[in-house]
Amino acid sequence: MKIHPRFVGCDVCKHHLDIFEADGGRTRRIDNSDEAIAAWLAGLPARSDRHIVFEATGRYDRRLAAGLEARGVCFSRVNPARARDFARALGVMAKTDRIDARLLAAMGQALEPAQTPAREDARDALAGLHKRRDQLVAMRQKEKVRLAEASPRERASLERHLAWLDAEIAEVEAQRDALLRADPQLARPNRLLRSIPGIGPVAAATLLALLPELGTASPKAVAALAGLAPFNVDSGRFRGHRAIRGGRRRVRNALYMAAVAAWRSRTRLGAFAQALIDRGKPFKLAIIALARKILLTANAILRDEVPFHA
């Protein structure tokens, strides 16, 4: 496949980046450091229309994303599973850093993935606090399981650790809430989201931190991003069940819990799920349908900047 020079593929590793640029026809390797990335970007033509495509790799791609944002270069941070599916569709089974870089450039040309929106410092800070809370909650859950089976000698240590975890979680939540109150770009969206039945502080923070497209994307796009868009499974005369898959798991989980809370409430949203259950739909299907409705409601509320009215 001939690749247009506009599309640049970048395979991100902990210590280095492999960059495929079609106009040079080769892949080169640079350090994954602020200095090396800045030097590479400085060599791009002024007013460059380059579109950089790379996989989401957690903390390893932060320097690259920050450098691209600072220079105003268009980039797409794509789901690694989607990139691998693209490679399989082309019949490419081999996987090396250089091959991946070229495939990412080809993926950019073939699919033109949406540009990743710029992240604000406050949103980055919120995402960090949200991630730390998730880590602490997971640790606490494991310690509670151990406590249930602990010997008397082990209980004191586990109880001390649980008390420490409770205090740490409370501290992180206090920092999160203070940030949501103080930052003008987060405070109003947070209040709007909290007006929706079922959305509490955790769900609101999850949506603001991990779904920055909320309020600007179309209903179909935002449902797909959250993994709440049903996909057909049909072939010939066979008609399979519509199923959700993919998307951002932590966002979907938060919306599921918000839907359970909304179902328990005596509101119009709760009645929506109950009506499905009364018609014989499985409980989980009804809750997922409500989670999608809550997401689309949140998208419209942030778009129009009007709070929810029951």
**Whether the Cβ atoms of residue 228 and residue 245 lie closer than 8 Å to each other:** no
Query: Which residues neighbour 147 within 8 Å (Cβ) at sequence distance 6 or greater?
Result: 155, 158, 159, 162
Per-residue pLDDT of the chain (310 residues), as tens digits, is 788 889 999 999 999 999 999 887 889 999 999 999 999 999 887 667 899 999 988 789 989 998 998 888 999 999 888 899 999 999 998 889 999 999 999 999 999 998 887 776 788 899 999 999 999 999 999 999 999 999 998 999 999 999 999 999 999 999 999 999 999 889 999 999 999 999 999 999 999 999 989 998 899 999 988 999 875 555 555 555 556 667 889 999 999 999 999 999 988 999 999 999 999 999 999 999 999 999 999 999 999 999 998 6
What pTM was estimated for this model as a whole? 0.69
Class (C level, CATH) for 7-111: alpha beta
